[in-house]
């Protein structure tokens, strides 16, 4: 009971989460994550926490009290929960490019009103509870998980398949030293709650973000003795920034989450060293790119009270090693895929084109469509400039506190800049062309996160002036403008299909799942399937990597479904749908895989569906229509 009575929120909950991720990853790497390994990881987590708790009790450090829900928060909380229920009822069985196609104007009106009412309450001196803000964030970042029938993108299904294999077999070979932090968290929650892996993974990141970050940032404001009303206002306006990295659970995004915890903890006046280092290590075992930066942040924060030549050399070494480690981790990933160590010229043309767009003022005022869409994308264009202004304002404020500025923020930015330049020399030839420079874009998110304390400080200063202002006539214009910006931020966070943006990916539909189950149940022997990315993702999520009724890996180590990022079957699929669905093409793919049974899956939304379907019908042995014609399966049987 003493342990529960002295439990510090959110510090202890974050510490336990980080330790579960860290020890689960270590046990898996050194042994495996079967039930014995899982219990060992939980045991180590408990022992470590008890040791830290005992030291804290000896130092007579007081536990923080939980934030209670006051009466002004209850109406907001009820409306937010109602919107969450509404979104769950809007779930679509179809393949979606964007969740916004399933949501009508009442949701947008309710969301805008919530943003405006929250701003008005805080400005009026009425406190909004952190629990209400947490549910507000959950509404903002779990929307796609509620609308989509299944996960979207390809990566989540790869990770789900890996997690299912680890649960079934204890490990998957060959082992990799990254991604393990997410796997440990997902598998732990699955074993504790008995919830399906896909459900745990879909809501894991948005849940972690909503549950922990508002409380931790509130502690950060309190730690610096800032006005708490202005702090709550910063948290309520957080969705003004579009955070697409928060809407889908991947190891990279989980690493970002732990990096945020590390950076915020490192810039507090009173640093929680166990939380600082455990979150940094958890970030590293999730994904090394953010993890190396998190470790450097923890090291620089631990050197904060040092002075003299020794501290200067230590900071220089930490920054230099990080600047080298960041590109090395990506180069290693590229070498694993291609076995090619050669570097390439940086994408100077793309960089110049990007800079030309930035300095061309025309993109700041788009006027190609209806006024409200022009306004939204004008806000998107201005958003980076707003963030830059906030960061600069925060830097200027931090310079009055040289311990934070000189010894943490400035070295991190220098390391990140050098790392980005070196990373631009890596070719990433194993990635599809249009995703090849996504790795460089990750440095922008890293830059935003490590400068988050500067953004928080500048935002607090500006909003505190507004709260303290006596000019009442400005209140409602500012509230309307800020509530509109929050609503625009929500729209821009998710994939969109409009006249300015056309999301490339689709979510997995019920028809995709029906097709892969029909094939698995009706195939007489091992087989290959030529299909698009969504159908391949559905197969990965449903059957994983390990054999069931049929083998998943065939001759020449070919996976039986196409994988866009690697393998040869996707090339054969593109030949079938882009050129002509010749029998000889799919026969060649079947011979490469060493099987006699093959299938072509064609979705009704595919460009030229009717024409391809007619041509494939003439070449295939049989045609099967599923889900009221939403998806066609063509079967091919080849003799000796």
Q: Residue 191 falls within a domain, yes or no? A: no
Residues 6+ apart with CB under 8 A from 568: 558, 589, 592
Q: What is the pLDDT of residues 159-199, one digit of tens each?
A: 998 999 899 889 888 888 889 999 999 999 999 999 999 99
Residues 6+ apart with CB under 8 A from 553: 545, 559, 560
Quote the CA–CA distance of 28 and 564 in Å, as a whole number: 28
Q: Residue 480 falls within a domain, yes or no? A: no
Q: What is the mean pLDDT of residues 79-99?
A: 91
Query: Is the four-CA dihedral 180, 432, 490, 389 of positive or negative sign?
Result: positive
Q: Residue 266 falls within a domain, yes or no? A: no
Q: Are 560 and 553 in contact (CB under 8 A)?
A: yes
C-alpha distances out from residue 351 to 261, 346, 446, Å: 31, 9, 18
pLDDT at 492: 95
pLDDT at 307: 63
Mean pLDDT is lowest, of 54-68, 510-524, 583-597, for: 54-68
pLDDT at 308: 64
pLDDT at 64: 47
Across all residues in the chain, what is the average pLDDT?
85
pLDDT at 637: 93
pLDDT at 332: 67
Quote the CA–CA distance of 189 and 195 in Å, as a whole number: 8
Q: What is the pLDDT of residues 606-635, one digit of tens each?
A: 889 999 999 999 999 999 999 999 999 999
Mean pLDDT is lowest, of 221-225, 396-400, 401-405, 460-464, for: 401-405
Say what percent of the chain tops pLDDT 70.
86
pLDDT at 541: 86
Q: Residue 571 falls within a domain, yes or no? A: yes
C-alpha distances out from residue 369 to 104, 173, 374, Å: 20, 52, 6
Q: What is the pLDDT of residues 191-238, one digit of tens each?
A: 999 999 999 999 999 999 999 999 999 999 988 778 888 999 999 999
Q: Are 499 and 146 in contact (CB under 8 A)?
A: no
Residue 458 has pLDDT above 70, yes or no: yes
Residue 479 has pLDDT above 70, yes or no: yes
From the list 376, 226, 285, 304, the residue with the least C-alpha distance to 23 is 285
pLDDT at 564: 67
Quote the CA–CA distance of 353 and 505 in Å, as a whole number: 24
In the block, residue with structure tokens 């989540």:
156
Say what percent of the chain tops pLDDT 90.
51
Q: Residue 302 falls within a domain, yes or no? A: no
DSSP code string of 183-230? HHHHHHHHHHH---HHHHHHHHHHHHHHHHHHHHHHHHHHHTT--HHH
Q: What is the mean pLDDT of residues 71-95?
A: 88
pLDDT at 338: 58
pLDDT at 146: 93
Quote the CA–CA distance of 264 and 213 in Å, as a whole number: 9
Kindly report the number of other CB atoms within 10 A of residue 225's CB atom.
8
- For 321-352, give one letter per residue: b (16+ CB within 10 A) or e: bbbebbbbbbbebbeeeeeeeeeeebeeeeee
Q: What is the mean pLDDT of residues 61-75?
A: 62
Quote the CA–CA distance of 299 and 281 in Å, as a whole number: 11
pLDDT at 5: 63
pLDDT at 251: 94
pLDDT at 406: 65
Q: Residue 567 falls within a domain, yes or no? A: yes
Give CA torsion, residues 492, 493, 494, 498, to 10 deg.
10
C-alpha distances out from residue 545 to 91, 163, 350, Å: 28, 10, 37
pLDDT at 322: 78
Quote the CA–CA distance of 495 and 600 in Å, as a whole number: 28
Residues 6+ apart with CB under 8 A from 67: 129, 130, 131, 215, 218
pLDDT at 204: 95
C-alpha distances out from residue 36 to 31, 33, 160, 194, 400, Å: 10, 7, 21, 17, 52
∠ CA(238), CA(244), CA(248), 5° rounding? Answer: 115
* Token couple for 46: 């408990």
Per the structure, the count of domains in the chain is: 2
Q: What is the pLDDT of residues 529-564, one digit of tens each?
A: 999 988 998 998 888 887 778 888 888 888 899 886
Q: What is the mean pLDDT of residues 289-309?
A: 82
Residues 6+ apart with CB under 8 A from 157: 151, 508, 537, 538, 540, 541
Residue 65 has pLDDT above 50, yes or no: no
∠ CA(392), CA(398), CA(404), 5° rounding? Answer: 125
Mean pLDDT is lowest, of 84-98, 313-327, 475-489, for: 313-327
pTM (whole model) above 0.85: yes
Mean pLDDT is lowest, of 157-171, 418-432, 518-532, for: 418-432
Q: What is the pLDDT of residues 333-384, one digit of tens each?
A: 666 555 565 666 666 556 656 555 555 666 677 777 788 888 998 898 889 8
pLDDT at 279: 96
**Which of 35, 58, 81 is at the close of a domain?**
58
Q: Residue 525 falls within a domain, yes or no? A: yes
**Which of 14, 30, 58 is at the close of a domain?**
58
- Please tell me which residue, 54 or 261, carries the higher pLDDT value: 261
DSSP 8-class letter at 62? P
Domain enclosing residue 580, as ranges: 510-637
From the list 315, 304, 493, the residue with the least C-alpha distance to 404 is 304
- For 550-585, give one letter per residue: b (16+ CB within 10 A) or e: bbbebeeebbbbbbbeebbbbebbebbbeeebebeb
Q: Using CB atoms within 10 Å of the CB of residue 136, give its burial: 0 to 12 exposed, 13 to 18 middle, 19+ buried.
A: buried
Kindly report the number of other CB atoms within 10 A of residue 206's CB atom.
24
Q: Residue 440 falls within a domain, yes or no? A: no
3-state secondary structure of 550: coil
């Amino acid at each position: 009971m003493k342990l529960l009575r002295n439990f510090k929120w959110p510090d202890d909950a974050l510490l336990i989460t980080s330790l579960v991720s860290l020890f689960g990853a270590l046990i898996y790497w050194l042994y495996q994550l079967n039930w014995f390994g899982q219990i060992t990881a939980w045991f180590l987590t408990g022992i470590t926490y008890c040791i830290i708790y005992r030291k804290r009790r000896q130092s007579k450090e007081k536990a923080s009290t939980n934030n209670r829900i006051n009466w002004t928060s209850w109406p907001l909380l009820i409306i937010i929960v109602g919107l969450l229920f509404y979104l769950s009822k809007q779930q679509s069985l179809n393949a979606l490019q964007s969740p916004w196609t399933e949501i009508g104007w009442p949701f947008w009106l309710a969301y805008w009103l919530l943003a405006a009412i929250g701003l008005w309450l805080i400005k009026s001196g009425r406190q909004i509870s952190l629990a209400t803000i947490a549910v507000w964030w959950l509404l903002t970042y779990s929307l796609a998980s509620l609308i989509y029938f299944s996960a979207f993108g390809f990566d989540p299904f790869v990770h789900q398949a890996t997690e299912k294999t680890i649960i079934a077999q204890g490990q998957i070979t060959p082992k990799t030293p990254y991604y393990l932090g997410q796997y440990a968290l997902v598998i732990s929650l699955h074993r504790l709650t008995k919830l399906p892996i896909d459900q745990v993974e879909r809501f894991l990141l948005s849940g972690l973000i909503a549950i922990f970050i508002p409380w931790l940032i509130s502690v950060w404001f309190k730690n610096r003795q800032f006005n708490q009303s202005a702090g709550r206002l910063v948290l309520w306006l957080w969705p003004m920034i579009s955070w697409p990295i928060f809407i889908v659970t991947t190891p990279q995004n989980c690493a970002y989450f732990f990096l945020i915890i590390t950076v915020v903890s490192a810039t507090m006046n009173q640093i929680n060293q166990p939380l600082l280092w455990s979150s940094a290590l958890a970030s590293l075992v999730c994904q090394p790119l953010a993890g190396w930066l998190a470790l450097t942040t923890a090291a620089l924060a631990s050197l904060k009270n040092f002075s003299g030549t020794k501290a200067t050399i230590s900071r220089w070494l930490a920054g230099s090693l990080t600047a080298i480690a960041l590109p090395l981790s990506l180069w290693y990933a590229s070498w694993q895929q291609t076995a090619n160590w050669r570097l390439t010229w940086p994408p100077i043309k793309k960089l110049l084109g990007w800079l030309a767009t930035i300095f061309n003022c025309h993109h700041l005022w788009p006027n190609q469509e209806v006024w409200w869409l022009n306004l939204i994308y004008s806000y998107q264009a201005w958003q980076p400039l707003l963030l830059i202004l906030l960061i600069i304002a925060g830097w200027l404020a931090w310079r009055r506190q040289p311990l934070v500025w000189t010894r943490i923020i400035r070295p991190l930015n220098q390391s990140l800049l050098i790392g980005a330049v070196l990373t631009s020399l890596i070719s990433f030839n194993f990635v599809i062309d249009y995703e090849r420079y996504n790795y460089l874009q990750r440095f922008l998110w890293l830059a935003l996160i490590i400068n988050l304390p500067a953004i928080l400080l500048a935002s607090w200063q500006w909003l505190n002036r507004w709260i303290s202002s006596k000019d009442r006539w400005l209140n409602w214009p500012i509230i309307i403008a800020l509530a509109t910006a929050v609503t625009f931020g929500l729209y821009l966070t998710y994939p969109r299909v409009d006249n300015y943006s056309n999301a490339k990916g689709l979510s997995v539909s019920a028809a995709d799942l029906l097709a892969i189950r029909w094939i698995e149940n009706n195939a007489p022997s091992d087989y290959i399937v030529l299909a698009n990315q969504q159908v391949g993702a559905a197969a990965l999520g449903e059957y994983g990597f390990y054999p069931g009724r049929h083998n998943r890996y065939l001759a020449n180590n070919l996976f039986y479904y196409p994988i866009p990022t690697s393998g040869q079957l996707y090339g054969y699929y593109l030949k079938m749908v882009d050129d002509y669905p010749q029998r000889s093409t799919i026969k060649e793919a079947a011979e490469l895989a060493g099987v006699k049974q093959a299938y072509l899956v064609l979705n009704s939304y595919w460009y030229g569906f009717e024409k391809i379907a007619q041509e494939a019908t003439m070449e295939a042995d049989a045609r099967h229509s599923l889900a009221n014609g939403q998806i066609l399966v063509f079967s091919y049987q080849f003799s000796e």
